[in-house]
Chains A and B, each alone.
Chain A
Amino acid sequence: MAIRWFYYAAPQNFYALAGRLWPWLAALATALGVAGLWVGFALAPEDAQQGEGYRIIFVHVPVSWMSMVIYLAMAFWSILGLTFNTRLSGMMTRALAPSGAMFTFLSLWTGALWGKPMWGTWWVWDARLTSELILFFLYLGYIALTSAIDDVRRADRAGALIAIVGAINVPIIYFSVKWWNTLHQGASVSLTRSPSMAQLMLWGMLLMALSFWVYTLAIVTYRVRSLILERERHTAWVQALPEVSGAKK
């Protein structure tokens, strides 16, 4: 089993695997997404308190989950990359970052869209919202740092370090903001306390979460392929690829 993993650590082998995988992942993500949206918007009943507006929870909660999961994944690949010095780790982290930033942004945006009808305001310094905002800055920081450094290897390793340092900080940030928030007795609304969620609602959220997760896998796989092509463009195997040699004609 260990041998198989190290086999795919080589960009050339991963490229082939990724090429076979991503269409299936994309299809699966679409299917799950459609199912989830159907459950969430067509099947699930109206909420007693919030009416129809609560349905945004089917997007909001899954994207928030994803924003945090992706950051953890980035930290994981970063640790791997700094320890084993593999090229693929840096590419995976870089491929994850834009999706993570997107999900974080969506989380903030859908949160605001939900907040307006709920609390009458677009923004509230709720512990979760605030730490989500800071997470967004962490993503932006990583993307900015890796874009600003010209040398690819140095950019990867510097980005890995900041991702790890940031990951250590995420619980600290959340805790400190929660502390700050409770001390201020500000927003008394909590976003996800749902005492007994209807079965259907839960299923809707889970389906959407799975859909986003598979979507992330698909798009990261696809992005890594592009990164591999870009970085390994001088090697013989890339030059020999049909999509590369064909384009040259």
Chain B
Amino acid sequence: MNIFFTVVWRDLRLAMRRKAEVLNSVFFFVVVAALFPLAIGPEPETLRHIGPGVLWVGALLATMLGLSRMFESDLRDGSLEHMLLSPHSLGLMVLGKITAHWLLCGVPLVILAPILGLQFDLSPQALSMLCLSLLLGTPVLSCVGAIGAALTLGVRGGGILISLLVLPLYVPVLVFGAGAVQALESGVGAQAHVSILLAMLLPALFFSPWACSVGLRIALE
């Protein structure tokens, strides 16, 4: 278990010393959220309607942006090989990397979303549901995205390739994440959506590190 925290802390430390990369995704999210109202027009009714969807898509794309970097630097300087050789469980180490990625990429999105949501004239209930759906959904995005990142390690065309691989797998998260807010707004209630997001999160947390380990071993053969 210790190795999990070691890897998380290591990755966080590395990211803090390479700040530009971390801010990439966050900046993208802010830009997307800011541009949509400008493009669609300032009508509050329309904005309230599209707001959750736009913010969710923005979060999704922002996460996709940072995926190719997850294992890249470790591959380049050889640390990844040492991880594969380690007697520690590779799955646990990968889970540590995924957690670090989520802390650096997903959590800022969760924090920023309500602020950006104000631009779309969303009600406080909608904003808190947006936060909750992102809180449950972004870890799934990190988990599933890691599988794509592991498989495309060192492959040319990496960024676009990852997006193509990972997009179909992201669709359910998007549907239920954005849908939760819309369900709440339309009065239907979002319990089902939240339960399903949870139901996606738990298997993702268990399955993804294993799939990533397999993918990493394949990539480094």
Contacts and interface: CB of A to CB of B under 8 A. Distances in A.
* A adjacent to B, CB under 8 Å: yes
Contact of A158 (B151, B175, B179): B151
A144 B155 CA distance: 11
Contact of B171 (A134, A151, A162): A134
A140 B168 CA distance: 11
A175 B193 CA distance: 12
Given A141-B164, A153-B221, A179-B175, A161 B151 contact: yes
B16 interface: no
A176 B172 contact: yes
Given A161-B211, A161-B215, 19 more contacts: A82-B214, A137-B164, A137-B168, A138-B168, A140-B164, A141-B167, A145-B165, A148-B152, A149-B155, A154-B221, A158-B219, A162-B148, A162-B165, A166-B168, A172-B200, A173-B171, A175-B172, A177-B171, A177-B175
B176 interface: yes
B156 A173 contact: no
Interface string A63-100: 00000000000000000001000000000000000000
Interface string A172-203: 11011101100100000000000000000000
B164 A162 contact: no
Nearest to A153: B221
A165 interface: yes
B157 interface: yes
A219 B116 CA distance: 53
Interface string B123-164: 000000000000000000000000110011001110001001
Contact of B219 (A154, A172, A177, A180): A154
A162 B175 contact: no
Contacts of B183: 183
A157 interface: yes
A159 to B, nearest CB: 9
B161 A180 contact: no
A176 B176 contact: yes
A147 to B, nearest CB: 9
- Chain A residues touching B, majority SS: helix
B155 A148 contact: yes
Interface residues of B, number: 29
A180 B167 contact: no
Interface of B: 147-148, 151-152, 155-157, 161, 164-165, 167-169, 171-172, 175-176, 179, 182-183, 188, 196, 200, 211, 214-215, 218-219, 221
Contacts of B221: 151, 153-154, 157
B218 A166 contact: no
Interface of A: 82, 134-135, 137-138, 140-141, 144-145, 148-149, 151, 153-154, 157-158, 161-162, 165-166, 169, 172-173, 175-177, 179-180, 183
A173 B214 contact: no
Given A137-B167, A140-B164, A180-B175, A145 B152 contact: yes
A145 B176 CA distance: 28
B189 to A, nearest CB: 11
B147 A144 contact: no
A148 B161 CA distance: 9
Contacts of A145: 151-152, 155, 161, 165
5 contacts: A137-B167, A141-B167, A148-B156, A148-B161, A183-B188
A165 B211 contact: yes
A180 B192 CA distance: 12
List the 10 shortest-distance A-B pairs measured between CB atoms, nearest first: A176-B172, A141-B165, A176-B175, A180-B175, A157-B218, A134-B168, A141-B164, A158-B151, A137-B168, A148-B155
Contact of A154 (B169, B182, B218): B218
Nearest to A82: B214
Contacts of B151: 145, 158, 161-162
A141 B165 CA distance: 5
Contact of B172 (A82, A153, A169): A169
Given A161-B211, A180-B175, A144 B161 contact: yes
A169 B169 contact: yes
Contacts of B157: 144, 148
